[in-house]
Amino acid sequence: MGRITLTIVSQDKDQCYLQAAAKSPSYSAVTSFSCTTKALVEFGKSIKGFPRANDETEEYSLGSGMGRAEFTFQTVASTGLCELWVRIKGLQGEAGQSAESYFPIDYLEPSAIEAFSRELIKLGTGHSKAAELKNQFEKA
């Protein structure tokens, strides 16, 4: 089980403030950060049609500095399934220490990644407030 949800907290013409929440059976993490709406559209386009080959990897990062989310999509051998390794970075505590979580979301079907791609593009073009990717066993 597992999912990643990107939600727009606020936005103006070209910038948005996002919350990224990821969870798997053993881990969960939440952070917030600013990014351009163009970056959301580019991320959606970069994973559109993933995977195109059996041994493919696609990486993307949103945000900058202490708050960001990094995504690594990869195929799982010749199963037809994919996994997403997500790294959530943020601030922890008043001392400015950084916090980081890095874990997989397994058993992703290409159709789920395609739907996430469309949702990211809608998010970046102002037609949606959230984009979610969940594996085939995650409940609604």
Using one digit for the tens of pLDDT, what is the confidence trace for 33-72?
999 999 999 999 999 999 988 888 999 999 876 788 999 9
Using one digit for the tens of pLDDT, what is the confidence trace for 28-37?
888 889 999 9
Q: Are 34 and 3 in contact (CB under 8 A)?
A: no
Domain boundaries defined on the chain = 3-134
Confidence of residue 3 (pLDDT cuts 50, 70, 90): very high
The stretch 109-123 carries a mean pLDDT of 95
CATH of domain 3-134: 3.30.2450
What does 15-69 look like in DSSP terms, one character per residue? EEEEEEEEE-SS-EEEEEEEEEHHHHHHHHHHHTT--SSTT-EEEEEEEETTEEE
